[in-house]
A = this chain, B = another copy of it.
């Protein structure tokens, strides 16, 4: 491996000058500059990023903490995050916590502050304490998809207004004439996705103050996956066969609801409308294609990278919250007018 020093020797200058040429730092004479560049070329020199990181006190990698990169929403985010990082000369380390906070903890313990100066947090199964501790070690951390812009956490974050997403989904259903609406939420009643449900309640109350109370019987809090949505829909449809629409707080369980409807012989959207939130790639590929509320994933990823880099540059005393763009309704084929009941 060729080193900076070798290039310097080859060009007849000192390492410092080569470094200056490469970083466009300091002022270097055009002549020496050319000479150095020629040597770099001739020797096929490439800077050693590890050495540079050590000297600069911070490396070029960002850590992305997810519960499992195979969880289908994360790759879409990771792709954008990696691109954003790359555009800024950084690299992305993918850290699966395997839904185990100990693994997450250990990860932070090992890499934060040395290998990665910046940590992007996507999943919830990390203890807040660990993140705070991580910050004290000198790393910057940003929560990538905080669901409540109005209620910032104690950490820097990119916030997306999921309450509004819930409202948009609900209004769409309401405008189609649905009043018998069930809800499936992909988290615990006090979990992350609960705020989307609050959005639903908002919209319902606006139309008819009595609706939210009824809704409670027709809500299920479940695992945030296809199977969870399937089971909840079956259950809901058993309990309330007259539902004409199901609001689902996330696209995966919504896909499960589509399956449940099919297995029950219910036509979507003629007999039952289904709406999700997020607009994952697969939403457009389901049968029928899923109507959903798109969330600005790519933008959030880019903002997260930008914010964490800024925080690394200089860490403010107070956590920073950046708010990503508004959710957008995406009408596809899984929602339609409420059937008129004989």
Chain A positions within 8 Å of B, measured between CB atoms, are 1, 46-51, 53-54, 59-61, 68-70, 72, 74-76, 78-79, 82-83, 86, 91-96, 98, 103, 109-111, 113-115, 137-138, 226, 255, 259, 262, 281-282, 285, 287
A334 to chain B, nearest CB (A): 14
Given contacts A49-B110, A82-B95, A91-B115, 15 further A-B pairs with CB under 8 A are A1-B137, A46-B109, A50-B54, A60-B115, A61-B93, A68-B79, A69-B75, A69-B94, A70-B75, A72-B72, A72-B75, A82-B96, A83-B98, A259-B285, A282-B282
The residues of B that contact A54 with a CB separation of less than 8 Å are: 48, 50-51, 54
CA distance A75 to B73 in the complex (A): 10
CB pair B94–A61 under 8 Å, yes or no, is: no
- Report the nearest B residue to A82, measured CB to CB: B96
The residues of B that contact A111 with a CB separation of less than 8 Å are: 49, 91
A-B contact pairs, 13 of them (CB 8 A): A48-B54, A49-B110, A49-B114, A50-B53, A51-B54, A70-B75, A70-B281, A82-B95, A82-B96, A93-B94, A94-B94, A282-B282, A287-B287
CA distance A117 to B106 in the complex (A): 23
The residues of B that contact A51 with a CB separation of less than 8 Å are: 54, 114
The residues of B that contact A70 with a CB separation of less than 8 Å are: 75-76, 78-79, 281
The residues of B that contact A115 with a CB separation of less than 8 Å are: 49-50, 60-61, 91
Q: Which of A49, A50, A93, A262 has the most CB of B within 10 A?
A: A50
